[in-house]
Amino acid sequence: DGGITQSPKYLFRKEGQNVTLSCEQNLNHDAMYWYRQDPGQGLRLIYYSQIVNDFQKGDIAEGYSVSREKKESFPLTVTSAQKNPTAFYLCASSIGTGGQSTDTQYFGPGTRLTVL
Amino acid sequence: GNSVTQMEGPVTLSEEAFLTINCTYTATGYPSLFWYVQYPGEGLQLLLKATKADDKGSNKGFEATYRKETTSFHLEKGSVQVSDSAVYFCALTLYNFNKFYFGSGTKLNVKP
């Protein structure tokens, strides 16, 4: 089955530690995204990537970093510089090729990060 | 700029009631419009979409019509079920842009 996987589903970290959230897709999509969702809130864009080896900051990139070395993978690192990292993190992907009509974003199941 | 505004929730309805969740947008270009649904503890799932004016997206009894004149994309369902309880997000994206703009979400509670 094609889709997006995120691991782990729940993640706990101590304050001051970096942690990396995994996102993998087998949809052959070019574009991938990371969002943060706080309780009762909407989605805020952290980073996005439209092609391998390229990515752009979203609205709340401070304290986060990403890499896009492979088309199917877009890991997110939450660094110790992120002041309030406890949240639900969602990864998404879309076809994303230039010149196409606007297309749908497909989401993974999310990772809930809790800082202890 | 580009933005989406949704009605605040929670919306509480009895089973079989009629549902409307309002969504309006502002866009610098000609957007495509989407409704996503999120069940507790899960990611977002596409519910329906519309890519041009007067298009009607529909799925699982839900409908929304792209109204360019009122910049709206209201979600409707004629008879809700308990299983429809979730958070609903309205979103837009622009042609060849690949960035999505989401509303803040509207929580729907359906009581038996």
d(CA A71, CA B79): 42
Chain B residues lying within 8 Å of A10, measured CB to CB = none
Query: Which tens digit of pLDDT belongs to each residue from B23-33?
Result: 999 998 889 99
Give the model's confidence band at A81: pLDDT under 50 very low, under 70 low, under 90 confident, else very high. Answer: confident
Assess contact for A11 and A21: CB atoms under 8 A. yes
Could you tell me what percent of chain B has a pLDDT over 90? 79
**CB contacts < 8 Å between A and B, how many?**
59
Q: Do B94 and A100 touch (CB under 8 A)?
A: no
CA A56 to chain centre: 12
CA B1 to chain centre: 20
CA B55 to chain centre: 14
- Helices H / strands E in chain A, number of each: 0, 11
For the segment B82-91, the average pLDDT, to the nearest whole number, is 96
Assess contact for A20 and A7: CB atoms under 8 A. no
The residues, ordered by sequence, that sit 6+ positions from B15 with a Cβ below 8 Å of its Cβ are B80, B81, B82, B110, B111, B112
Chain A residues lying within 8 Å of B100, measured CB to CB = 33, 45, 105
The partner residues of A7 in beta bridges, in order of sequence, read A22
For the segment A31-43, the average pLDDT, to the nearest whole number, is 89
Q: Do B51 and A31 touch (CB under 8 A)?
A: no
3-state SS track over A98-112: CCCCCCCCEECCCEE
CB nearest to A107's CB, from B44, B95, B103: B44
pLDDT of residue A102 exceeding 60, the answer is: no
For the segment A31-53, the average pLDDT, to the nearest whole number, is 91
pLDDT of residue B11 exceeding 60, the answer is: yes
**What value does the mean pLDDT of chain A take?**
90
Q: Is A94 on the interface with B (CB under 8 A)?
A: yes
Give the model's confidence band at A99: pLDDT under 50 very low, under 70 low, under 90 confident, else very high. Answer: very low
Chain A residues lying within 8 Å of B9, measured CB to CB = none
CB nearest to B95's CB, from A48, A101, A108: A101
pLDDT of residue B96 exceeding 70, the answer is: no
CB nearest to B44's CB, from A41, A50, A90: A90
Position B98 scores a pLDDT of 66
Query: Which tens digit of pLDDT belongs to each residue from B48-64?
Result: 999 999 999 999 999 99
Position B39 scores a pLDDT of 93
pLDDT of residue A68 exceeding 60, the answer is: yes
